[in-house]
Amino acid sequence: MADIIIKNAYVLTMDPDAGDIKKGTVVIEDGKITEIGVKTKESADTVIDAKGSVVMPGLVNTHTHAAMTLFRGYADDLQLAEWLEKHIWPAEAQLTAEDVYRGSLLACLEMIRSGTTSFADMYFFMDETAKAVEASGLRASLSHGLIELWNEEKGENDLKEGKRFVRAWQGAAKGRIKTMYGPHAPNTCSDEFLAKVKEAARQDGAGLHIHVLETEAELLAMKERYGKCSVHMLDDIGFFGPDVLAAHCVWLSDGDIEVLREKGVNVSHNPISNMKLASGTAPVYKMLERGVNVSLGTDGCASNNNLDLFEEMKTAALLHKLSTCNPTALPARQVLQMATVNGAKALGTETGMLKTGMKADMIIVDMKKPHLTPCFDVPSHLVYSAGGSDVRTTIVDGKILMQDYRVMVLDEQKVIEEAQKAAEELVARVNS
Ligand SMILES: O=c1[nH]cnc2c1ncn2[C@@H]1O[C@H](CO)[C@@H](O)[C@H]1O
Ligand SMILES: [Zn+2]
């Protein structure tokens, strides 16, 4: 007997061999997809009739800072350097472990509601984010942010904590948690420090999550310090490989794109954050054309200001049509692939596709809505017309986290109230 059967759904498998099944069935057992097709002979404890809905792989957010939900709308309409150094970092200096737990739990709730089933995070007090992931049932790749700022002692301490975290949580929450090293950026960490972090990651068999060439200011600072850009500096110290997740990658030359492709680096594109902070336009069309694995991320809620990957998909599609003056750039299906298949590849998880044997991370999107009527093409609707609030059911590792808009794993009102309180008290401390 299976655990869950989803029937009568439009199945968007994202599996190139299987394609879409217009009226299909997905069978889930022991956290995995055991059958996919038109009909099944199986029976199950839970049978979901998904008539009028789409079942698809859960979305993968490859770059965020979950606890920054507490800073949602806290400092808007500013230059990145001023935003980070004058507003965000002073506020982060007042953060407590409890705050990070409240903020992370709020983020998990928001992700469950908007169809994100796994995410990559880089922040502080990461034990708390890990606990929130454990409690919420989501899947995540977590890293402690290492910000050396050319201070050897700070670097050592950060790396020590990063290492402790990597070892403490690798494989936790029944394998849903993976850990990574999170050196912040090439303009906040020295080349020597980055090489040390790379070595630690190699020893632990852990991945690396880093911001790369988010701003022109970073590019100019790198040229002045090293006589080369971040990509070449990182390449020269042996940093790159398929275990690296590079967020932003806005200010790339054609040569940089070639390095990223050759080394199998995974890029997390964050169009809304890049637009909001006016960081620039990442050459996503070119990267995809050359075969770089580009996925999607929201970045933190201080620069987005939500975690809705449906919004991110639409924005990515529109931004690259506009920036290339080419309406055929980033068609809907390719954008869906970025948010599912490419994201799963970036995090190295057996998810991102509905396929027998894969982990059962999937969402059911309600298509019986005024703004989704009529429906000629499902991928088009998912990218251009739908929003995170159209997700009715969210399943991770074969467990139902939200069923028919009801979150099963968290006390929603309590999570919201406690996050609100934590945010208010935090800002009061910052201003006192
Ligand atoms: O867009 C961004 N660019 C650079 N840093 C960021 C961005 N968003 C958040 N952080 C910062 O990264 C650190 C986590 O390691 C935090 O200090 C967070 O505020
Ligand atoms: Zn970031």
- The DSSP symbol for 359 reads B
34-72 pLDDT tens trace: 999 999 999 999 999 999 999 999 999 999 999 999 999
Domains and CATH numbers, the chain: 2-57+359-407 (2.30.40.10), 59-347 (3.20.20.140)
101-126 pLDDT tens trace: 999 999 999 999 999 999 999 999 99
Question: Do residues 251 and 221 make contact, with C-beta atoms less than 8 angstroms apart?
Answer: no
Residue corresponding to tokens 């070449």 = 232
381 marked ligand binding residue: no
211 marked ligand binding residue: yes
Question: Do residues 246 and 268 make contact, with C-beta atoms less than 8 angstroms apart?
Answer: yes
Residue with the nearest Cα to atom 15 of ligand 1?
A: 145
**Which numbered atom of ligand 1 lies nearest the CA of 299?**
8
pLDDT at 15: 98
184 marked ligand binding residue: yes
CA distance 267 to 376: 32
- 247 Cα: distance to centroid of ligand 2 (angstroms): 7
pLDDT at 240: 98
- 351 Cα: distance to centroid of ligand 1 (angstroms): 27
**pLDDT-wise least confident of 76-90, 181-195, 309-323, 331-345:** 76-90
pLDDT at 197: 98
Q: How many CB atoms lie within 10 A of CB 87?
A: 17
Which residue of 80, 82, 88 sits with most ligand 1 atoms within 8 Å of its CB, as the best mutation to test the pocket? 88
Label residues 222-254 b or e (16+ Cβ within 10 Å = b). Answer: beeeeeebbbbbbbeeebbeebbbbbbbbbbee
Which pLDDT band, with edges at 50, 70 and 90, does 399 fall under?
very high
CA distance 394 to 361: 8
Q: What does each C-alpha distance from 131 to 230, 239, 299 come to in angstroms?
A: 34, 30, 20
- 278 Cα: distance to centroid of ligand 2 (angstroms): 14
Pairing type for strands 207-212 and 32-37 reads unpaired
Q: What does each C-alpha distance from 163 to 201, 204, 228 come to in angstroms?
A: 8, 9, 29
- 88 Cα: distance to centroid of ligand 1 (angstroms): 8
Residue type, 104: S
CA distance 143 to 141: 7
Q: How confident is the model over 8-16, as a mean pLDDT?
A: 98
CA distance 151 to 49: 58
**Which numbered atom of ligand 1 lies nearest the CA of 88?**
19
63 marked ligand binding residue: yes
Q: How confident is the model over 297-319, as a mean pLDDT?
A: 98
- 185 Cα: distance to centroid of ligand 2 (angstroms): 10
pLDDT at 201: 98
Identify the nearest ligand to the CA of 185 by its number.
Answer: 1
Question: Do residues 328 and 397 make contact, with C-beta atoms less than 8 angstroms apart?
Answer: no
Residue corresponding to tokens 């040390």 = 196
Contacts 24+ apart (CB under 8 A), 226-234: 226/191, 229/253, 229/256, 230/185, 230/186, 230/187, 231/256, 231/259, 231/260, 232/256, 232/259, 233/186, 233/191, 234/186, 234/194, 234/210
Residue 383: CB partners within 8 Å, gap ≥ 6?
310, 313, 314, 317, 332, 335, 336
Label residues 178-202 b or e (16+ Cβ within 10 Å = b). Answer: bbbbbbbbbbbbbbebbebbbebbe
Identify the nearest ligand to the CA of 91 by its number.
Answer: 1
- 81 Cα: distance to centroid of ligand 1 (angstroms): 11
- Positive or negative: CA dihedral 404, 410, 411, 416: negative
65 marked ligand binding residue: yes
362-387 pLDDT tens trace: 999 999 999 999 999 999 999 999 99
Residues with CB under 6 A from ligand 1: 65, 84, 88, 92, 122-123, 145, 182, 184, 211, 214, 273, 299-300, 303
Written as one string, the DSSP assignment of 237-264 is TT--STTEEEEE--S--HHHHHHHHHHT
Residue with the nearest Cα to atom 9 of ligand 1?
A: 300
Mean pLDDT of the chain: 98
CA distance 71 to 420: 10
Which residue of 211, 276, 277 sits with most ligand 1 atoms within 8 Å of its CB, as the best mutation to test the pocket? 211
